[in-house]
Chains A and B, each alone.
Chain A
Amino acid sequence: MEMTFARVGWAAGVLSATALCTAAMATELEVTHWWTSGGEAAAVAEFAKAFDAGGDTWVDGAIAGSGGVARPVIVSRILGGDPMGATQLNHGRQAEELVEAGLMLDLTDVAEAEGWRDIVNPVSLLDSCTVDGKIYCVPVNIHSWQWMWLSRKAYEEAGVDVPTNWDEFVAAAPALEEKGIVPLAMGQQAWQTAGAFSVLNVGLGGEELWKKVNVEKDADAAAGPEMARIFEAFGNARSLAAGSTVQDWNQATNMVITGKAGGQIMGDWAQGEFSLAGSKAGVDYECLPGLGIKEVISTGGDAFYFPKQDDAEIEAAQKRMASMMLSREVQVAFNLAKGSLPVRGDIDLSAANDCMKKGLEILAKGNILISGDQVLSADTQGQVEDLMVEFWNDTSITPADAQARYASIIADAD
């Protein structure tokens, strides 16, 4: 019974607090997200600081572990009638259904008032927040998969030049192996192998082929000779990474940092690891966008959604938060901390490092590619991940077998 009283008391407290605060226009909003590591938390802190500065209160609801851990919690709470004020979700197709079920707040009026369509660059990010012409989420950053990271130390030790593209990388591999250096570092998690495959796909096969397979879901293209070449290259990469037994992606990055591996194919979040280790772009490591063949930025990233609540106060605060997240100052501060690219083209990131600047240049040139998250359902991506990680670890599967299975996944894709 005491517990019940405590709860009633707590609820009453919240009610009266809400009543008191109405005059000051301040509202508490709980925000769930899965950004818990050092750099990520620092980035979230920028959001919280800016939100609190506006007179509201950011109540942090961090739950580590994306996908499997945080998502059932977030979805359950929205379904169970205890929604949070705002929540991180990958934009793209993951939240579609929650929007369609009418569980998310429509942000169109804020977006129109502030002209999001004009300031968000590339505008495709906003498109993936749009359902039936209405905007339901705020994209906050751009993370691109299309990078390869190379260790200067490893190549110096092997006495060869640091490669400037994939073909040179493959050609230099035997020299590394002679010195006991693993040419390609790769973690064991499925998303890492699948990601590396998509980078090979874009880099070696070109954007057109990638789009044909991933956007148009053309199974014939997926089974065709051009893709066969990519699967061959992927099979070759598999043998280059034979000595890499680490589990996490950042352990693989660490192999590159310490010169135990020549290179790693990984998204731009790997930069955080380099900077934590005190490595400098251009001095200790090199970054190759698009495998040095096709300079392109894929526009994946994170977004925030605002579950619908029957309370005008909260709704107003949700909209204040949405507009805060896209504001100039917050975009700069947040993305510098996070190591990602801002979603606004009109801001100055002079504090960015060399690799980030390279990324910004590519972005400014408009060499952008829609991200896998935005065109494939989580289901299809999961199937591709399962296939790629199985192929990567089981050398009895030939590239041709893998391609046939890949084509059938694409044929059923949605």
Chain B
Amino acid sequence: MARSNRPPKLLRNLSAKIAAIPMIATAIVIFVGCTAWTVAHSFTGSRLLPKLNWVGTKQYDRLWDANRWLQSVENIVIYGVCSLIFSLVIGFLLAALLDQKIRFENTFRTIFLYPFALSFIVTGLVWQWVLNPEFGIEKIVQGWGFEGFAFAPLQNQDWVIYGVLIAGLWQGTGFVMCLMLAGLRGIDEDIWKAARVDGIPMWKTYIFIVIPMMKGVLITALVIIAAGIVKVYDLVVAQTGGGPGIASEVPAKYVYDYMFKNQNLGQGFAASTVMLLTVLIILIPWAYLEFGRRKRG
């Protein structure tokens, strides 16, 4: 980036650095410091209180031996992939539809966005009801005359995670749409005019011209969705409690339950270390590409 005509470097950097002190402090003390603390304690036998009684990799051995953890990992992969794809696709589609100079845009946008105002606890609770076979959707459709209709994802071990997904998407897609809409509105009207003049079909304009121009918004949306996926906890607790059996357990719930319910901080920290490591493995190459390329360019 050519910014050669800026005043002396030291002075300018100084004010930016001063302004960034809260950020630097948070990054170092909280996110690096506390993570290091957590990782260190994952090698201890801490129970109710954090202690430095080293036990080597015992907590990790146990973690990868635990059926519940393996099930949690499997679930988060399914939930994560589906949630990522559907959030982005639905969010973008809704935003694109709202961007067609339609009437009642305000009303529609509010309807899509309002679930985001509600906590995951509420979301889980309501969808537990709606999906309940005894008085929810299944009962209604059967009442319409479709006796054989069966739709009880929360009672089925194989489908329960998709039941959670329905609720998660309901809560979160509105905000993704909002971000996408902000991105679409940031795109110059002239680009649309030019595309129209050239006779490029609308869908092609979106995919090949508009979406590449929305990179910033897409990354923001991606990070927000992904962070939400990693941390999904309240929703599962409220909607299924991890059941039936252990079929809808997720890693964050494993961490939380082990830390506080089972009073085995070491095990909880080991599980969270594995989660953080996974995030790092994804994040570091991305950061390297993102920032490395910019320096070269």
Residues in chain B near residue A361, CB distance under 8 A: none
* 8 Å CB interface, A196-241 against B: none
Residues in chain B near residue A383, CB distance under 8 A: 66, 262
A247 within 8 A of B: yes
Closest Cβ–Cβ distance, residue B287 to chain A (whole Å): 32
A282 within 8 A of B: no
* 8 Å CB interface, A173-191 against B: 188-190
B215 within 8 A of A: no
Band of interface residues on B: 20 to 34
Residues in chain A near residue B257, CB distance under 8 A: 68, 382
Residues in chain B near residue A377, CB distance under 8 A: 47, 263
* 8 Å CB interface, A95-147 against B: 95-98, 101
Report the Cα distance A389→B248, complex, angstroms: 12
Report the Cα distance A394→B260, complex, angstroms: 26
Residues in chain A near residue B264, CB distance under 8 A: 378-379, 382
Report the Cα distance A390→B66, complex, angstroms: 12
Would B49 and A67 count as touching, CB distance under 8 A? Answer: no
Pick the contact of B263: A94, A389, A393 (CB < 8 A): A94
Closest Cβ–Cβ distance, residue A56 to chain B (whole Å): 29
Would B155 and A67 count as touching, CB distance under 8 A? Answer: no
Would B157 and A393 count as touching, CB distance under 8 A? Answer: yes
Of the listed stretches B18-26, B89-97, B176-184, B239-247, chain A binds: B239-247
Would B155 and A245 count as touching, CB distance under 8 A? Answer: yes
Check A386/B68 contact, CB under 8 A, given A68-B257, A94-B263, A379-B267.
yes
B142 within 8 A of A: no
B68, B155, B237, B245 interface centre (most CB from chain A within 10 Å): B245
A392 within 8 A of B: yes
Would A378 and B261 count as touching, CB distance under 8 A? Answer: yes
Residue of B nearest to A101 (CB): B49
Bitwise interface map of A from 361 to 391 toward B, beta carbon under 8 Å scored 1, else 0: 0000000000000000111011100110111
Band of interface residues on A: 20 to 34
Report the Cα distance A199→B79, complex, angstroms: 37
A319 within 8 A of B: no
How would you classify the secondary structure of chain B's contact residues: helix, strand, loop or mixed? loop
* 8 Å CB interface, B218-272 against A: 237, 241-247, 256-264, 267
Closest Cβ–Cβ distance, residue A86 to chain B (whole Å): 18
Report the Cα distance A377→B262, complex, angstroms: 8
Residues in chain B near residue A160, CB distance under 8 A: none
Pick the contact of B246: A247, A379, A389, A405 (CB < 8 A): A389
Would A390 and B68 count as touching, CB distance under 8 A? Answer: yes
Would A188 and B262 count as touching, CB distance under 8 A? Answer: no
Closest Cβ–Cβ distance, residue A180 to chain B (whole Å): 14
Would B49 and A379 count as touching, CB distance under 8 A? Answer: no
B48 within 8 A of A: yes
Residues in chain B near residue A387, CB distance under 8 A: 67
Report the Cα distance A189→B155, complex, angstroms: 13
Pick the contact of B48: A75, A247, A382 (CB < 8 A): A75
Report the Cα distance A379→B157, complex, angstroms: 25
Pick the contact of A389: B133, B245, B259 (CB < 8 A): B245
Residues in chain B near residue A381, CB distance under 8 A: 262
Closest Cβ–Cβ distance, residue B135 to chain A (whole Å): 12
Would A67 and B244 count as touching, CB distance under 8 A? Answer: no
Residues in chain A near residue B157, CB distance under 8 A: 393-394
A38 within 8 A of B: no
B66, B243, B263 interface centre (most CB from chain A within 10 Å): B263
Would B49 and A393 count as touching, CB distance under 8 A? Answer: no
Residue of A nearest to B46 (CB): A97
* 11 residue pairs from A and B, CB less than 8 Å apart: A67-B261, A68-B260, A96-B48, A98-B48, A190-B242, A247-B241, A379-B264, A382-B264, A386-B67, A386-B246, A393-B246
The 7 closest A-B pairs by CB, nearest first: A393-B245, A382-B262, A97-B48, A379-B264, A378-B263, A393-B244, A67-B261
